[in-house]
Amino acid sequence: MSESKRLIYDLSFEELEQVVSEWGEPAYRAKQIWEGVYKHFWNDPEQFSPLSKALRSKLAQAFKFNSLSPNINLTSSDGSTRKILFKLQDEQAIEAVLMRYGDDRRTLCISTQAGCAMGCVFCATGQMGFRRHLTTGEIVEQVLYYARQLAQEDQQVTNIVMMGMGEPFHNYDATMQAIDRLNDPTGMGLGARRFTISTVGLIPMIERFAEEKRQVNLAISLHATDDKLRSEMLPINDKYPIKDLIKACHDYVERTGRRVTFEWALIHNENDSPEQAQALAALLKGLLCHVNVIPLNPTAGYAGEKSSKDRVRSFCDTLESKGIPCTIRVRRGIDIQAGCGQLAITAE
């Protein structure tokens, strides 16, 4: 029965070795299977040609290789962004996005949960509520799906951002195991600094992340400098207020020596004034950081509007004049609802 099969991407290499050993096969067979999955992106036991027919049959009986069913596939009008809605085995659904930059950068925006429990008011995923955590294998499989497609074009995944549906630090273990799986030099071998995790600011998980001293990039969704406004936008701020969050960021930098990125969705007449920029610069003074400003992307459940180009530029200029590095993020895939904060599944 397929229900008894394990998703092969849920296994670590050590677990795969154990299975192969129990089958009475030599250890090198596990390496061949691992490389088939993560170097060649094979997703059918019959593709594993180095293995005997009997061993391929065992693979087919023990494991499933496809738990995500591509349901809707949309490409932006400029061809730079592709969004796929995947149905999961339990009929839940997630979205994952491929963004092409220039000649060689291929960034994936990957989901870690179906829905999200954080309830950020301007985020479509937050508006849909929490459905469930994804397993490690379901996170990994999104990457391998796109890697397989890109390989057919002689291209490869270069960066992965955990900024899709869900709060990665709410599903910490599965998210980190997925990164470890994709980072493994004997498999896909994607460097740790090619990954970015975006969090609304779950302080205990930031502290744990700092203790582990990973080379993975950390991004914090901030969006306001005072607790009243931030709590209105991001309810989690009631539990983890700005002062405590910024302290956790200072501790992170001190422990790791790594820079923090702060994400700031610019909302017209809400958080885009020069005064807000000055307050942000004061808040971040002395912290090794960078601010990524993002003109708000529209969602059905939020009435706020994006800032004008002039206000976006003025906000960034004010930060830079105070010594805070700032980048204006290029908006991608807005016409197919593939931009930041736009990923959602309409309730059945």
Beta-bridge partner residues of 82? 75, 98
pLDDT score for 223: 93
The encoded tokens of residue 279 equal: 């307050």
Amino acid residing at 336: I
In the chain, beta strands by DSSP E: 6-7, 63-64, 69-75, 81-87, 93-101, 105-109, 113-115, 130-133, 159-162, 195-199, 217-221, 260-266, 289-295, 326-328
326 is catalytic: no
Give yes or no on whether 2-64 and 69-336 have one common fold: no
Query: Is residue 47 within 8 Å of residue 18, measured between CB atoms?
Result: no
pLDDT digits (tens, 9 = 90+) for 1-39: 345 799 999 999 999 999 999 999 999 999 999 999 999
Query: Is residue 96 within 8 Å of residue 83, measured between CB atoms?
Result: yes
Residue 197 backbone dihedrals phi, psi, to 5 degrees: -110, 130
> What pTM does this model have?
0.91
pLDDT digits (tens, 9 = 90+) for 74-111: 887 777 888 899 999 998 999 999 998 877 899 999 99
Please give the Cα distance from 110 to 112 (Å, whole number): 7
Q: Which helix (H) or strand (E) holds 319?
A: helix 309-321
The encoded tokens of residue 83 equal: 């969004």
Class of residue 176 by CB neighbours under 10 A (exposed 0-12, middle 13-18, buried 19+):
buried
Beta-bridge partner residues of 76? none
Which residue's entry shows tokens 């405590």?
A: 244
Please give the Cα distance from 186 to 33 (Å, whole number): 11
Query: Is residue 155 within 8 Å of residue 106, measured between CB atoms?
Result: yes
Query: Is residue 296 within 8 Å of residue 307, measured between CB atoms?
Result: yes
The encoded tokens of residue 51 equal: 């293995």
The encoded tokens of residue 122 equal: 């301007």
340 is catalytic: yes
Q: Where in the chain are the domains? A: 2-64, 69-336
Amino acid residing at 63: F
Which pLDDT tens digits describe the chain residue by residue (348 residues)?
A: 345 799 999 999 999 999 999 999 999 999 999 999 999 999 999 999 999 999 999 999 999 999 999 988 888 777 788 889 999 999 899 999 999 887 789 999 999 999 998 888 877 777 778 899 999 999 999 999 999 999 999 999 999 999 989 999 999 999 999 999 999 999 999 999 999 999 999 999 999 999 999 999 999 999 999 999 999 999 999 999 999 999 999 999 999 999 999 999 888 888 889 999 999 999 999 999 999 998 876 555 665 777 888 888 999 999 999 999 999 866 544 444 444 444 444 433
Instruction: State whether the Cα torsion 286-292-294-299 is positive or negative.
Output: negative
Count of Cβ atoms closer than 10 Å to residue 44 Cβ: 11
- The fold adopted by the segment(s) 2-64 is DNA polymerase; domain 1 (1.10.150)
Q: Which of 95, 138, 141, 270 is catalytic?
A: 95
Residue 20 backbone dihedrals phi, psi, to 5 degrees: -60, -40
Q: Which of 120, 249, 289, 340 is catalytic?
A: 340
Instruction: State whether the Cα torsion 310-314-315-317 is positive or negative.
Output: positive
**Integer CA distances (angstroms), 120 to 107, 279, 330, in order:** 24, 22, 22
CATH class label, 69-336: alpha beta
